Structure 1
Amino acid sequence: MKEYTLLLFLALCSAKSLTGPSYFTLKNMMLQDMEDDDDDDDDNSLFPTTEPILPLIPFDLFPTCPFGCQCYVRVVHCSDLGLTSIPRNIPPDTRMIDLQNNKIKEVKENDLQGLTSLYALALNNNKIYKIHPKAFQPTKRLRRLYLSHNQLTEIPTNLPRTLAELRIHANKVKKIPKDVFKGMKSLHVLDLPSSLLELHLDDNKITGIELEDFNRYKDLQRLGLGNNKIKEVENGSFANIPSIREIHLEKNKLKKVPPGLPELKYLQVVFLHSNHIAKLGVNDFCPMGRRKKKALYSGISLFNNPVKYWEVQPSTFRCILARNSVQLGNFLK
């Protein structure tokens, strides 16, 4: 018993200071996140308060912590170590892994093997250019994923459907695959690269578009928001994407044509079918007066809306490429 007490005392005396800003910034963020998840079971707590006193000591008496890292209760802190790969020997009950500010180039298939309780993974500010399609398969509870400031050219495929927050700005991503976010029920933060040319958020549960939603994506040319629950588009929202060519808003709950379409000089295709639009204004699509669009509409779909097509003024579609560019039709019950 004396030998154990002496070992414990020596370890406490030699423990590293815990004042590193990156650790406490991330830890405080995770604590705040966990407060929002009060409905989870007790075992889902990132920093449980019911653990025995001994495991709360900020070091590991046993060799279960990756070399050079600091391991706490369910937290593995490995930032700023110059690591070139995700370390092995991460405890299987880990809830958070901090790997920011390293030189990791790749997330391999088995790097996260066995980490079924992982809640948050910070890989920002590395050199990651490749993530294996099955890399996140072992993670059954992952909610926070930070991949900002890397060298990714595409959004990782097969993201966990439990994901609630994804940060991936400051990469080289130009296009997002159509189904990459499909099935996610609570993805509420989407910090994407500002260089995006295409953004596909179809088949989700988005309920509205606000003014600031697209203010970072000036170069966006194609926007997919079909099959959501969008009821309203705030006026001015599309002014932040002046280069947009194609907008998909079909299969939503819109009651009117979204404002701002006439100001989009390059917009050619807009899908609005299967909504609740009952009336079309003469200036809903085309600029007023002598102003002209630089690109005429080649496709406007409005079928399966309660529009009385015989009441629509012909000048409503004065800026289309040809008569067959508009699909109006009848509203089908």
Structure 2
Amino acid sequence: MWSVFLFCFVLKTIYHQTLGGFTNGAPCTIRNTALLDTRDSWLLPKDDLQCVDITSLGRRKNIPQNFEIIKATTLYADHMHLRRIPDSISTLMPKLKLIDFSSNNLRRISKDSFSSLIDLHTLLLEDNHVFIPKKTPLLNSRSLKALSLSNNKIRRLKPKTFKELKGLTVLYLDRNWLIRLHPKVFKPLKYLKYLHLGNNRLKVLPHIVLEVPKAIVIVKGNPFNGTEVIKR
């Protein structure tokens, strides 16, 4: 859950208007969060439900139904050892704006896993093992604004990786194993404002980074010597 706070702090720093999840309204607290206990029973909050925590579900795939969770805008599903995205998320919680899948064992993610969540704009996938497809986009989402892929041991990005995420404004790719970047990898991201490439294995400052318009680019912690932060 701390990764959500840190991520949203950066979002608030970049924007005057917050992007979503608990940054768009009251923070998630015990009073507005539905908790799933180890017996698969829902503990519903006293106030209007805004957040859902399913971390106790563990590796189990089926999320118990409850009419109240349809209201949720934030989902915590971190540190669960998940190997795949539960299929029922978009059906049970169609209004989600922020999803935290950090610190799981996710590898292959269907590109349409979140395409039906038309309000989703913050997705945290750091500390997983996300596989980057060679010939297809990573994800398909018209609404997504912020994506964290930190620490996924990503070695390479393809020209189509972000092709269907044209609305992205914040992208975290730090703490991966990137050695070089394809010249066209960020071309679809015309609205990008913050790009974190720190702590990779980049030996030279890629020219494509210099061509990202109006973006703050973090490159600290790579083998090459040079600027740590590039501002437009």
TM-score under structure 2 normalisation? Answer: 0.63
Q: How does 1:126-275 map to 2 (within 5 A)?
A: 131=34, 133=35, 136-137=37-38, 139=39, 153-156=50-53, 159-161=56-58, 163-166=60-63, 171-177=70-76, 180-185=77-82, 189-192=86-89, 193-233=93-133, 235-239=136-140, 241-257=141-157, 259-261=160-162, 264-275=165-176
Does structure 1 residue 302 correspond to structure 2 residue 201? no
TM-score under structure 1 normalisation? Answer: 0.46
**Residue 285 of structure 1, CA deviation:** 0.7
Corresponding residue for residue 284 of structure 1:
185
Query: What percentage of aligned pairs have identical amino acids?
Result: 18
SS at match of 2:63: strand
CA distance in structure 1 between the aligned counterparts of 2:165 and 2:83, rounded to whole angstroms: 31
The letter for the 1-side match of 2:173 is L
**Residue 195 of structure 1, CA deviation:** 2.0
**Residue 216 of structure 1, CA deviation:** 2.0
Cα shift readout 1:33-77 (whole Å, capped 9, x = no counterpart): xxxxxxxxxxxxxxxxxxxxxxxxxxxxxxxxxxxxxxxxxxxxx
Q: Do the aligned partners of 2:85 and 2:109 also contact (CA within 8 Å) in 1?
A: no
CA distance in structure 1 between the aligned counterparts of 2:161 and 2:37, rounded to whole angstroms: 40
Greater relative contact order (Cα 8 A, min sep 6): structure 1 or 2? 2
**How large is the Cα RMSD of the aligned pairs?**
3.5
Q: How does 1:20-169 map to 2 (within 5 A)?
A: 131=34, 133=35, 136-137=37-38, 139=39, 153-156=50-53, 159-161=56-58, 163-166=60-63
C-alpha change, 1:227 and 1:195, in structure 2 (3 Å) is same
CA distance in structure 1 between the aligned counterparts of 2:185 and 2:49, rounded to whole angstroms: 39
- More deviation, 154-163/203-212: 154-163
Instruction: Give the aligned length.
Output: 182
Cα shift readout 1:220-249 (whole Å, capped 9, x = no counterpart): 10110000011324723423x112111100
Corresponding residue for residue 34 of structure 1:
none
Gap regions ≥5 residues in structure 2: 1-31, 43-47, 225-232
CA distance in structure 2 between the aligned counterparts of 1:273 and 1:209, rounded to whole angstroms: 20
Gap regions ≥5 residues in structure 1: 1-128, 146-150
Segments of 4+ moved more than 4 angstroms: 167-170, 185-188
